[in-house]
Amino acid sequence: MTTPSDDSAAANAAPVPAGPAGVPGLPAETAPGFDAAARIPVATYPDYVSAQRAVDYLSDNKFPVQQTAIVGTDLRLVENVLGRLTVGRAALAGAASGAWFGLFIGLLFGIFSDSNWFAVIIVTVLIGAVWGTIFGAIAHATTGGRRDFTSRSTLQASQYAVMVDADVAAQARQLLNRLTWQSTNPT
């Protein structure tokens, strides 16, 4: 008789069956040329632009950049509130998205229509805007006052590490030290 812990141990020990694309692996295992264990950080930067400039400098100096990665660490989600969302604004946003969808449908209908192509597009844009207005207003009204604001979310890192394969780390450090020296001592 087996115990539940025996069953879970047996399940963990069993290999994952191959699917149509083979045996699934972790992203670090499947990314071409990326071996997280073999890469070490050679420099860190406060922003992505600086890390990108460092890798570009490595590339300009014939460094094998295919052995390089820029890794953002200490990720955080930042949501910037853009403004208050009212039923009127929700209806206006719905009208705009409905008009775009109507334009798409109008272009499709216009291609296969024998009638006035311009009139077909105008009618479908207007119908899309009206339905978008109705659905936008109803969707916002049904929230009952929850989330009465619009926002934009971004994912940001506190710092960016330039990581390279261990066998070329000394060369990368030497080049990046030269870049740092050149930027602090312009001639």
Q: Please state the domain count of the chain.
A: 2
Name the CA radius of gyration of the chain, rounded. 28
In which residue ranges of the chain is pLDDT below 50? 1-14, 26-30
Domain that holds residue 134: 86-147
Residue 181 in any domain: the answer is no
Which residue pairs from 45-50 have beta carbons closer than 8 angstroms and sit at least 24 positions apart in sequence? 45/159, 45/160, 45/161, 45/162, 46/159, 46/160, 47/160, 48/72, 48/157, 48/160, 50/160
Residue 136 in any domain: the answer is yes
Please check whether residue 66 is in contact with residue 33, taking contact to mean a CB–CB distance below 8 angstroms.
Answer: yes
Both 53 and 94 in one domain: the answer is no
Token pair for 186: 């312009």
pLDDT value for 179: 84
Both 141 and 164 in one domain: the answer is no
Please check whether residue 87 is in contact with residue 185, taking contact to mean a CB–CB distance below 8 angstroms.
Answer: no
